[in-house]
Amino acid sequence: MSNLRLTNSFSRKKEVFKPLNPKKISLYACGPTVYDSPHVGNARSLVVFDVLFRVLKVLYDSNVIYVRNITDVDDKIIEASLKNKKSIDEITNKITKIFHENCESLNCLKPSMEPKATEHIQGMIDMTQSLIKKGYAYEKDGHVYFEVNSYKEYGKLSNKNLDDLKAGSRVEISELKKNPMDFVLWKPSKEKEPGWESPWSKGRPGWHLECSVMSEKYLGKNFDIHGGGLDLVFPHHENEIAQSCSNNNTKKFANYWVHNGFVTINKEKMSKSLGNIISISEAVKKYSGQVVRLALLSAHYSQPLDWNDKLLENQKTILNKWYDLFLDENKDLSEIDETLLDDLNTPGFIAKIHEFYNAASKGDKEKKIKFNQACKFLGLFNVTKKDWESSKKTKIGVSESYINNKIEERLKAKINGDFALADKIRDELISKGISIEDQKGKTIWKVK
């Protein structure tokens, strides 16, 4: 078997994955900020790193630790609390529950650990104190800032120098900062905002600090892979590197940085101002978790993915076809296909699954088993064929008896030579998502 190769955002090259310790493979992925229902852009990151987790588990057995955090203290959460007139706990508990339901719908494996930011406040205070003591951070009026000029490697991940970053970034303007690019480690809380006692003020941590503290606690000062969406490269991941390497006096934080590309909606950027945000819950309700998952994996993780009805309808058609060869048995994939080892090439692997399907359709029993194993490994076929067919019927909103009656009407119309009526009935069924096909004197129907 070949080695796993991943595109490392830090080197901007595809590299052979060489773990620090083959008996402890460490993967950290940035999880949700629980202020609003996760959207399909968040789903892409979830599914991509779920596939990476699955690949690593086959390659390294049970020696994989996958940590995915939950940000449950943040300005956006406070804003949502005020806007909805609900407590912080109500907001975070509700959205965390929705997030976990979404993970289940998308058939994502549970991470090894799922730490919450609020459970690690003391660790963040400790790291902030350490950074001040070592000369990398400074306190001003209850605020603590990381001084970016103190870390000479700043900008290496985003491949920009400080002047470029100043010109191209929206940074928090504050007269308290020595440099506009300095970022907050700790800030005072206003009245009625969540806050914790610290040496500087009753306040809360900056966003970037939590991932540095939690990844170190569970994976160590230097670990294998750090993942997240492309939008996190700067400032989030750049700042994580700066504070962690400065504090720990290390040259590296994570050895490999893996970032998934953006999701657009009908070629436009997803944004609340455009009103084109599609939540995971909405998407799986309309199309099912498997269809959404297959759509998210239909393009290479590093490339942009445009989200539109045509894409979803195509994946639904593929799954309806694939379910014809579903086997209700659990035989795990014993080795990873070369296409997946080559930088998680899911489109290439999906093409292989199509090949297995075609061979299996011609009676190749071995390929039928391989086909099912490949689908299940990719996180598909997580419900039986019966349940899949049943879920399709509930989505179309018409009963089986209605469909059979319409087919009977169409048959009578054809016998009577009323082909216009027969075509009208067929078109009526198609409009309701039912395709029909005449085979050897019988009419077979399927949900499209």
CA-wise closest residue to 426 among 440, 414, 441? 414
Q: Which two tokens stand for residue 426?
A: 């067929």
What confidence tens digit (pLDDT) does each residue in 347-401 have? 999 999 999 999 999 999 999 999 999 999 999 999 999 989 888 766 666 667 7
Tell me the fold of 5-260. Answer: Rossmann fold (3.40.50)
Please tell me the predicted confidence (pLDDT) of residue 270.
79
Please tell me the predicted confidence (pLDDT) of residue 289.
96
Check pLDDT > 60 for residue 1: no
The pairing of strands 305-307 and 263-265 is parallel
2-32 burial, b for 16+ CB within 10 Å, e for fewer?
eebbbbbbbeeeebebebeeeeebbbbbbbb
Q: Are 69 and 124 spatial neighbours (Cβ–Cβ below 8 Å)?
A: no
- Which sign does the torsion angle of CA 422, 424, 427, 432 carry? negative
Q: How far is CA 31 from the centre of its chain?
A: 8
Please tell me the predicted confidence (pLDDT) of residue 441.
74
Alpha-carbon distance 283 to 196, whole Å?
A: 38
Q: Are 407 and 430 spatial neighbours (Cβ–Cβ below 8 Å)?
A: no
What confidence tens digit (pLDDT) does each residue in 274-305 have? 788 999 999 999 899 999 999 999 999 999 99
Residue 109 makes CB contacts below 8 A (sequence gap 6+) with: 50, 53, 54
What confidence tens digit (pLDDT) does each residue in 98-138 have? 999 999 999 999 999 999 999 999 999 999 999 999 999 99
In this prediction, residues 217-241 reach a mean pLDDT of 97
CA-wise closest residue to 232 among 50, 30, 51, 38? 30
Average pLDDT of the chain to the nearest whole number: 92
For 73, 202, 275, 429, the CA distances from 125, given in Å and listed in that order, are: 14, 11, 38, 63
Check pLDDT > 80 for residue 55: yes
Alpha-carbon distance 16 to 22, whole Å?
A: 14
Check pLDDT > 60 for residue 168: no
Q: Are 52 and 378 spatial neighbours (Cβ–Cβ below 8 Å)?
A: no
E strand spans, 304-427: 305-307
Alpha-carbon distance 210 to 208, whole Å?
A: 6
Task: Break the chain into its structural domains and give their ranges.
Answer: 5-260, 264-387, 397-447
Q: How far is CA 123 from the centre of its chain?
A: 27
Q: Are 328 and 308 spatial neighbours (Cβ–Cβ below 8 Å)?
A: no
H helices of 10-108, in order, are 40-60, 75-84, 88-105
Q: Which residue has the higher pLDDT, 1 or 227?
A: 227
- If pLDDT is split at 50, 70 and 90, which confidence band does 332 have? confident
Q: Are 260 and 251 spatial neighbours (Cβ–Cβ below 8 Å)?
A: no
What confidence tens digit (pLDDT) does each residue in 185-218 have? 999 999 889 999 999 999 999 999 999 999 999 9
Alpha-carbon distance 89 to 141, whole Å?
A: 28
Q: What is the DSSP string of 366-377?
A: HHHHHHHHHHHH
Check pLDDT > 90 for residue 320: yes
Please tell me the predicted confidence (pLDDT) of residue 209.
97
Residue 401 makes CB contacts below 8 A (sequence gap 6+) with: none
E strand spans, 243-282: 254-260, 263-265, 268-269
